[in-house]
Amino acid sequence: MLFAVQFEAVSEKSFFFILLPGLQEVVVVIQSQRNSYHARRSEQRKEEILQQAAEEGKGRPVVVLLHELTEYEGDWSILPALPHLFATYGQLASWFIFVEEETRLRLAALLRVLHRYPEHEEWFLGRGLHDDGASIIHHYAFSEDPSSFTYPDPSAGWAVSKPLLKRLAVRLQHESLKSDFTIDLHHEIALYVWEEGNGPKLTAVPEFCSQMRDNCATSFTTFLPDCGEPVPKTDVFVAVKTCHKFHHDRVPVVRATWEKDAGFLEFYSDVSDSSIPTISLGVPNTERGHCGKTFAIMRRFLSGAVPRADWLLIVDDDTLVSLSRLRMLLRCYDSREAVSLGERYGYGLLHKGYSYTTGGGGMVLSRVAVSRLMSSGCSCHSDDAPDDMVIGRCFTSLGVPITHSPLFHQARPDDYSGKLISSQQAISFHKHWNVDPLAVYKHWLKDDLPRDEL
């Protein structure tokens, strides 16, 4: 169904009629998550969109909660979900809009935007981001001119026309991705759409906004919601993985920055050092993964050897953390559930792979999640296996969802779009390489409130 809109031309007193697509030709995909808090928030957003549509009287869009689309947990990475989206809704829909659960839509403005782009053509629309420099998380793509390639800001939402979605869906059924890893899905989606110049680049749409303005079709609230008072310091046990060779350069950074905000914190090393102090878990240091050490930490967390806490945070010795913001975020989650929270990556998701929380950004686990994991029989195949990936594979087999927050970062601030992270209240960054970690902490993570208020 199309709607006629009447307006008066500036140059003459005549009237024209423009046909706008109705809302029933639009599919809104809310990038929801299986965790109970996120499922509730996305259901609320869906109800708000449908209520707004009823008030507008221009049709009813289809609103899809991504975690309900299929039983496959890996749909969060979008590409695996596209064939199913097209098969289910492609006959009736002209546009597919992807938004975060905290993205607000103004449906009348959205329809005006979509009218500008012929629906029979391939379109990829959004608010453009670009790397400010060569980025490790994007495998240094376009390093000679980072601004030459844009990808959509997830908070502002993004859209694809039906012809583009159809081509992508067909292609995905016959072609593997270049990498088995999903790291930054919106950059990777843009690369897949662009197809080395054979497909469209992102078209920047000024009405796709991260902050509300008068003409915005989309806007965004926050990735750090206000769910009430932060959980107490004593509800979070912090485990820092280190080794002897970093006792004198990395550990002092932790102690000078965020350690003082912890209720309970222990350093775990390959040797005991009473001057810090560190605790040896009897696991030798490894140059690659640290699965053996991490599983030993989880066993200790469940034992009577440490104070009882609802949450376990496991970080590297070169991870910088805002514990005050983490405690605010944790108020949104139910510690009685099995929760695995952090920056989510994926492995082999086009082929029924698994997701995991990146270790460098920090892994947050509820006591229930740790208990289920340790009682399941899941274990490391070697001490130097990648701990984050092993834990993710275990949780996938147990049906425990990996819950994503973009406030955790596996890399340094410079590895992300400045436009994106400047609007965040980050919880963590990782790596001291070519940066001053004290300056990074002060600029990006330090809160200037009195300590007794955090």
Query: Which domain-ending residue is among 173, 199, 220?
Result: 220
169 in the same domain as 260: no
Q: Is 20 helix (H, G, I), strand (E, B) or coil?
A: strand
Look at residue 11 and tell me if it is in a domain: no
Look at residue 178 and tell me if it is in a domain: yes
Beta bridge partners of 237: 264, 312
Q: How far apart are CA 119 and CA 63, in angstroms?
A: 19
Q: How far apart are CA 389 and CA 365, in angstroms?
A: 14
Query: Which domain-ending residue is among 165, 193, 220?
Result: 220
> What is the CATH number for 429?
3.90.550.50
395 in the same domain as 416: yes
Query: Which domain-ending residue is among 220, 243, 277?
Result: 220
Q: Please give the average pLDDT of every successive group of 10 residues along the chain, which has 454 residues.
A: 40 39 92 98 97 94 97 95 96 96 96 96 97 93 93 97 97 86 96 96 96 92 94 98 95 97 97 95 86 97 96 98 98 98 96 95 98 96 95 97 98 94 94 96 83 43
Look at residue 453 and tell me if it is in a domain: no
Nearest Cα residue to 415 out of 189, 131, 141: 131
* Cβ atoms 235, 335 nearer than 8 A: yes
354 in the same domain as 327: yes
**Structural domain count, the chain:** 2
342 in the same domain as 216: no
> What is the CATH number for 206?
3.90.550
Look at residue 154 and tell me if it is in a domain: yes
205 in the same domain as 94: yes
**Sign, CA torsion 304/305/310/313:** negative
**Sign, CA torsion 72/76/82/87:** positive
Look at residue 195 and tell me if it is in a domain: yes
245 in the same domain as 207: no
pLDDT for residue 27: 98
307 in the same domain as 239: yes
Structure tokens at 268: 């775990």
Nearest Cα residue to 313 out of 328, 331, 326, 299: 326
Look at residue 3 and tell me if it is in a domain: no
Nearest Cα residue to 111 out of 207, 200, 8: 207
202 in the same domain as 295: no
Residues 6+ positions from 402 with CB-CB distance below 8 Å: 73, 340, 344, 355, 356, 357, 392, 395, 396
Residues 6+ positions from 392 with CB-CB distance below 8 Å: 340, 347, 354, 355, 356, 357, 402
438 in the same domain as 384: yes
Domain range for 420 is: 233-445
pLDDT for residue 21: 60
245 in the same domain as 162: no
Look at residue 4 and tell me if it is in a domain: no
**Phi and psi, residue 139, nearest 5°:** 55, 35
Look at residue 12 and tell me if it is in a domain: no
239 in the same domain as 212: no
pLDDT for residue 397: 96
**Sign, CA torsion 325/329/335/337:** negative
H helix runs in 70-134, sequence order: 82-89, 107-115
216 in the same domain as 237: no
